Amino acid sequence: MRGTVAGLPSPHPLIELLPALYLEQDFLRRFLSALDDVLAPILLTLDNLPAHLDPRSAPEDLLDWVAQWVAAEPHRDEP
């Protein structure tokens, strides 16, 4: 199971999507910053989705999970 990555910056900070009127509100800035911390790994995974679809560049734990899902044995000797 993958965990969160401490200090991972969001590729698309939510605060940048707000009109200037809302940028002055401290609570909203802190709230959106917390959401950015939660969403950053998801957004980065979606940004790199093509790499997850190619078995040569997909993370090994993803390949193991898909192999279990379809009841197949992964071939470790192939690149």
d(CA 50, CA 52): 5
Q: Which residue has the tokens 């911390």?
A: 37
Percent of all residues in the chain with a pLDDT value above 90, rounded to a whole number: 14
Q: Which of 41, 31, 24, 25 is nearest to 14 (CA)?
A: 31
Instruction: Parse the chain into domains and list their residue ranges.
Output: 14-69
Q: Which residue has the tokens 């909203």?
A: 28
The contacts of residue 14 (CB under 8 Å, 6+ apart) are 32, 35, 36, 39
Q: What is the pLDDT of residue 1?
A: 54
d(CA 75, CA 44): 27
- pTM of this structure: 0.59
